Chain A
Amino acid sequence: MSYDINKVRNDFPILSQKVYNKPLIYLDNGATTQKPAKVIEKITEFHSVKNSSIHRGIHFLSEHATEEYEKARQKVQQFIGAKNTHEIIFTSGTTGSINTVAFSFGERYIQQGDELIISTMEHHANIVPWQMLCDRKGAVLKIIPITDDGDLIFEEYEKLINEKTKLISVTHISNVLGTLNPIEKIIETAHKHNVPVLIDAAQSVQHVPIDVVKLDCDFLVFSGHKAYGPTGIGVLYGKEKWLDALPPYQGGGDMVENVTFEKTTYQPLPLKFEAGTTNYIGAIGLAAALDYLTETGLSDIARYEHELLDYTTKSLLETGYVKIYGNSKNKSSIVSFLIDNIHPSDTGMVIDKLGVAVRTGTHCAQPLMHRFGIDGTVRASIAMYNTREEIDMLCAAVKKVKEMFG
């Protein structure tokens, strides 16, 4: 069956509004996605008639809330193909997930002189926690270089791995370049050296089907709000053997089994990593978003978005004055560009007033900007509800910018 874009658009209430008296064209999906009515309704319903703190009370509401929360965990497990439900930890988002691993893995395994590997195209969230860990432990951060097209240089990556390497953390899809990295190969190579791999799936889980067992990744992290779910909720997937071996990140209620002033014992997985009252409504909202993706069909979404990406690339290049950053053969959903020598901030301000929402600036990836010798880009990022007509409007806006700034 063909992809029913009209139905999809109707599922997202926000899309029908106007900004500056023009139809909203939302192309800032890499920053956050809009929410389908099902997610909004689920959250409202929960607040209205089901709310209760989970895991504690024995009363009616609490038991039901706990049940829904744990069902949400199962949904995530199924969505990414994890073997066990307790390998799914709810966090505040991708950033929270990476910080958890950086702290807990760091405490357990990282010594002075050890090495960690990330890539040039990482988001600050996949750079700074590792830098902080390196500072704490006297470890060293190694960086996989990239080509001008925005591909990881695989041979250089292989050369970086040695007996000191303790962990590799790379993004699945670059939030700036849109490069879809060959994570299967990256993981396979790392495992030959017995080095675990963390995959930052913040930009991929909503665009391409993921199976963590098939990938054999050791950790995988993503955010709810970029996958049509609410903000403040994220996922840390970890293989049982790692999560079991790691110490908890934060201490508090719910993550403990027994507390005395002399000694505290922790809950088994997953609660060991979920201190305090978690964002259970966020988790339940996220599960509704994943249900929505599954019902619509992630493979169909991927196909649709890929066609739209090709159309966007072609249309922007046809103007004759747009330079695209990120020209890998394997790309997904993101186009970063500059119009001649026009500053991205000028571009962003003008096209905003034409009703087109894009992101401008360094996209939390300053080292990547340095790599290309630029101060920033304009980024159009596509989601399941965008259309060719919207891309035409983007291109018209780009032409207007060119006229104004020369």
Chain B
Amino acid sequence: MKTIKEIQEEIIEEFAVYDDWMDKYNYLIELSRDLPLINTRYKTSDYIINGCQSKVWLNAEYNDGIIKYSADSDAIITKGIIALLIRVLSNRTPQEIIDAELFFIDAIGLRQNLSPTRSNGLLAMLKQMKLYAIAWQAKSKAG
């Protein structure tokens, strides 16, 4: 299985062919369509991460030492970026997620979409993904 670093490099390579923003966005739209649907029972206010611009729903499950994320958004480009975050961080151990340094966002030019000033819920989602990992790691150590 590829490491988090390797997957990020893979994504950077995929985006390297697009020098036009519209092409990048079209690719994100494509990715958004491939994102597995989140179970509708997680599409409630308990799972929502509110941004001023768009909403994000996030669920995490922990089985056999591995965290699996599922997520959705009401905005398509946001959903495309979610698909990337899930591809990088899902199916990993809590430690891998905690240690992950996400450099691909900068590299593919999506940094402004994850900046605190762009309150589309993505930055909050990323924080929440890490928090789940921290929580489960603490639990597994305690247990």
With the chains together, A65 CA to B54 CA distance in Å? Answer: 47
B residues at A contact (CB < 8 Å): 21-22, 25-26, 29, 52-55, 74-78, 113, 120
Selecting from A159-167, A175-183, A341-349, the interface stretch reads: A341-349
A400 to B23, CA, bound (A): 12
10 pairs of residues in contact across A and B, judged by CB atoms under 8 Å: A20-B21, A343-B54, A345-B54, A348-B53, A349-B25, A350-B25, A350-B77, A353-B21, A361-B52, A405-B76
Nearest 10 A/B pairs, CB to CB: A353-B21, A343-B75, A345-B75, A345-B53, A345-B54, A361-B52, A361-B53, A346-B76, A346-B75, A346-B77
Question: Is B53 within 8 A of A350, CB to CB?
Answer: no
Task: Report whether B25 and A345 are in contact in the complex, using a CB–CB cutoff of 8 Å.
Answer: no
Report whether B22 and A345 are in contact in the complex, using a CB–CB cutoff of 8 Å. no
Q: Check: A360 CB closer than 8 A to any chain B CB.
A: yes
* Chain A residues with CB under 8 A of B22: 350, 353, 400, 404
Query: Which of chain B's residues have a CB closer than 8 A to the CB of A344?
Result: 53
Measured in the bound complex, the distance between the Cα atoms of B29 and A350 in whole Å is 11
Q: Which residue of A lies closest to B121 (CB)?
A: A345
Chain A residues within an 8 Å CB radius of B53: 344-345, 348, 360-361, 376
Task: Knowing A360-B53, A361-B52, A361-B53, say if A343 contacts B74 (CB, 8 Å).
Answer: yes
Q: CA–CA, A361 to B51, complex, Å?
A: 9
Q: Which residues of B contact A353 (CB under 8 A)?
A: 21-22, 25
In chain B, what residue has the closest Cβ to A349? Answer: B77
Chain A residues, CB < 8 A from B74: 343, 375
Centre residue among B26, B53, B113 by max chain A CB count within 10 A: B53
Report A388-406 CB contacts with B as 1/0, cut-off 8 Å.
Answer: 0000000000001000110
Known: A361-B52, A375-B74, A405-B29. 7 other contacts (CB 8 A): A345-B75, A345-B77, A345-B120, A349-B77, A353-B25, A375-B54, A404-B25
Q: What is the CA–CA distance of A405 and B120 in the complex, to the nearest angstrom?
A: 18
In the complex, which residues of chain A have a beta carbon less than 8 angstroms from the beta carbon of B52? 361-362
Pick from B29, B55, B120: contact of A404, CB below 8 A: B29
Tell me the residues in window 144-186 of chain A with beta carbons closer than 8 Å to chain B beta carbons. none
Q: Which residues of A contact B (CB under 8 A)?
A: 20, 343-346, 348-350, 353, 360-362, 375-376, 400, 404-405
Taking a contact as CB atoms under 8 Å apart, the answer to whether B54 and A404 are in contact is: no
Q: Is the interface of A mostly helix, strand, loop or mixed?
A: helix
Nearest-CB residue, chain A, relative to B20: A353
Cα A145 to Cα B56 with chains together (Å): 31
- Closest residue of A by beta carbon distance from B52: A361
**C-alpha gap A173/B19 in the complex (Å):** 42
Min Cβ gap A124→B in Å is 11
Complex CA gap A345/B75 in Å reads 6
Closest-by-CB residue of B relative to A360 is B53
Residues of chain A within 8 A of B76, CB atoms compared: 343, 346, 405
Set of chain B residues within 8 Å of A404, measured between Cβ atoms: 22, 25-26, 29
Q: Is the CB of A375 within 8 A of B25?
A: no
A357 to chain B, nearest CB (A): 13
CA gap between A361 and B55 in the complex, in Å:
11
Q: A360-B53, A362-B52, A405-B29 are in contact. Are A345 and B78 (CB under 8 A)?
A: yes
**Which among A343, A345, A353, A362 has the greatest number of chain B C-beta atoms within 10 A?**
A345
* Residues of chain B within 8 A of A362, CB atoms compared: 52
CB-CB < 8 A to B21: which residues of A?
20, 353
Q: How far is the CA of A353 from the CA of B110 in the complex (A)?
A: 12
Chain B residue with Cβ nearest A400: B22
Q: For the complex, give the distance between the alpha carbons of A376 and B78 in Å.
A: 15
In angstroms, Cα B54 to Cα A343, docked, is: 8
CA distance A353 to B112 in the complex (A): 12
Q: Which residues of A contact B78 (CB under 8 A)?
A: 345-346
CA of A346 to CA of B81, assembled, Å: 12
Return the chain B residue nearest A344 by Cβ.
B53
A405 to B113, CA, bound (A): 19
Q: Which residues of A contact B26 (CB under 8 A)?
A: 404
- B119 to A, closest residue via Cβ: A361
Q: In the complex, how many angstroms separate the beta carbon of A336 from the nearest chain B beta carbon?
A: 15
| Cα distance, A353 to B26, chains bound together (Å) | 13
Q: How far is the CA of A404 from the CA of B20 in the complex (A)?
A: 14
| Closest partner residue, chain A, to B21 (CB atom) | A353
- Assess the A375–B55 pair: CB atoms within 8 A: yes
List A contacts of B113 (CB < 8 A).
Answer: 349
Separation in Å of the A340 CB from the closest CB of chain B? 12
Separation in Å of the A20 CB from the closest CB of chain B? 7
Give the docked Cα–Cα distance between A117 and B113 (Å): 39
Instruction: Report the nearest A residue to B80, measured CB to CB.
Output: A346
A375 to B52, CA, bound (A): 9
B91 to chain A, nearest CB (A): 28
Bound-state CA distance A404–B22 (Å) is: 9
Shortest CB distance A50–B (Å): 34
Pick the most buried of A346, A362, A376: most chain B CB atoms within 10 A of its CB.
A346
